Amino acid sequence: MLKIDTQVLVTLRYRFDEQISEADILAWLYNFEESDWGTALTLLNQVSFYSETRCANVLEDGLQQIIRAHSGMPIAIYPIGGIGKSGVVMAYHFKKIIGRFSHISWSFVDNNFSYSDRPYLVVLLDDFLGSGGSACKLLEQITSNIPQGSVVACLCVAYMQKAGTLLSVRNVAVYGDVHQPAFVRRHSVFGYPPRMKVVRDFALKYGAYLYPKKQYVKGMDLYIGPLGYANSQSLVCFDHTTPNNTLPILWASKRRSDNGKKWVPLFPRRLFDRIRRDESYERLKYKWISIAQKISQGHINRLFNDFGRESIQLIGLLHGKYHKRSDSYICLLLEITHKQYEQLCENAVQRNLLREDGLLTDEGTRTYTSIRKKEFEARSLVIDMIIKKEYVYIPYKFLGISRD
């Protein structure tokens, strides 16, 4: 068995904002032959991970630049692809960010939006631009409806250089972090060509087991290959999703073509697949509430009085916050909307479990850790609830069988 420096795993965990554990990384490494683990870790060290906080910071910086360049214009926000998939998360971030800017007129719009007779600042909003095709397609659909003199810009968290070039030809400035393909000959993140080639061959080898390369035919549609959709070679991953432009060995969850084994992704495409790792909450939430009730027995202000939805959501919020999960992660874990999540946080603030900035208070941390510490002592906590009987009644006849 190949030895791995645990400090490397700890460093990677912190690089990924503690949304990925050491166990997750090890499970992903077992997809590969041991002789390739070193190369896998080299690749992983160059992944650009965008946590919820980092996404919000990039969007805020881009929005500030857009507003400074085009002040005084009403803003029309077009989520690329509509309010769905990543659009919900981006719209949530945008609403929180733009609320910090005073005296700005803005609204989310679609193709049926009725503009007033004045120029607008039209902002195409997305988390990631790979090829730039989706943004260009939306631009073609809305151009005829936009008032003359309007300015179109694209606000995103990250984009590939190819997408930026494609949109600049159409006089659309892109705001966000720009990324190069991982295996470009010059300026690769993996250094000089010989070293880069080792990592590229590794990604091609295993990527082909998941999404094999197709024989080129003139006029064929773009497809997901060993190095991502349209050969994008992206290393960008988000807390809420992973683009299909990113290397499939990071996000795929299908069976390998060589041995039929299911691939274990490190950054699943869907957030739902990520919360499936968090089995403890779903399995133990009722047990935690039971322990919390026993701990607070005799107290006037008990946090958990029943096993209702409010108690379940509150214990889930403490669980998510303690493990530094994102807002979107907690929403999906608790099966609530972002608006319901905000109301839940307000409730937690009033109970002195959460601070105004969204972090746990000392009381919140103490409450959660006390419950988890008592988790394995639950038997002694409830033993006094069991009524001992000196005599046990045994029926004479049961299910048609008698004692005779």
Report yes or no: 363 and 352 within 8 Å, Cβ to Cβ: yes
In a domain, 210, yes or no: yes
The verdict on 127 and 142 lying in the same domain is yes
Rounded Cα–Cα distance for residues 32 and 26 (Å): 10
Judgement on whether residues 324 and 372 belong to the same structural domain of the protein: yes
* Residues 22 and 137 placed together within one structural domain of the fold: no
CA gap 335, 190 in Å, rounded: 40
> Does some domain include residue 335?
yes
Rounded to an integer, the average pLDDT of 77-101 is: 78
3-state secondary structure 340-389: HHHHHHHHHHHCCCECCCCCECHHHHHHHHHHHHCHHHHHHHHHHHCCCC
117 with 169, same domain: the answer is yes
Same structural domain, 318 and 365: yes
Residues 291 and 346 in one domain: yes
The burial of 296, by beta-carbon neighbours within 10 Å (0-12 exposed, 13-18 middle, 19 or more buried), is given as middle
Total domains in the fold of the chain:
3
Statement to judge: residues 312 and 380 lie in one domain:
yes
CATH number of the structural domain spanning residue 347:
1.10.10
Residue 261 included in any domain: no
Q: If residue 264 lies in a helix (H) or strand (E), which one and from where to where?
A: none
Instruction: Please tell me the pTM assigned to this model.
Output: 0.81
Is 10 within 8 Å of 22 (Cβ atoms)? yes
Task: Specify if 400 maps to a domain.
Answer: no
Please give the residue range of the domain that contains residue 200.
Answer: 6-46+182-250
Percent with pLDDT over 90 in the chain: 54
Same domain, 307 and 364: yes
Return the SS3 of 330: helix
Instruction: Give the per-residue pLDDT at 404.
Output: 55
119 and 159 housed in the same domain: yes
Provide mean pLDDT across the span 267-289. Answer: 75
Looking at residue 338, what is its pLDDT? 85
Confidence of residue 130 (pLDDT cuts 50, 70, 90): very high
Q: What CA–CA distance (Å, rounded) separates 328 from 106?
A: 24
Are 68 and 144 in a shared domain? Answer: yes
Does residue 40 fall inside a structural domain? Answer: yes
CATH number at residue 146: 3.40.50.2020
Instruction: Give yes or no: residues 117 and 173 share one domain.
Output: yes
User: What is the identity of the amino acid at 149?
Assistant: G
Mean pLDDT of the chain: 86
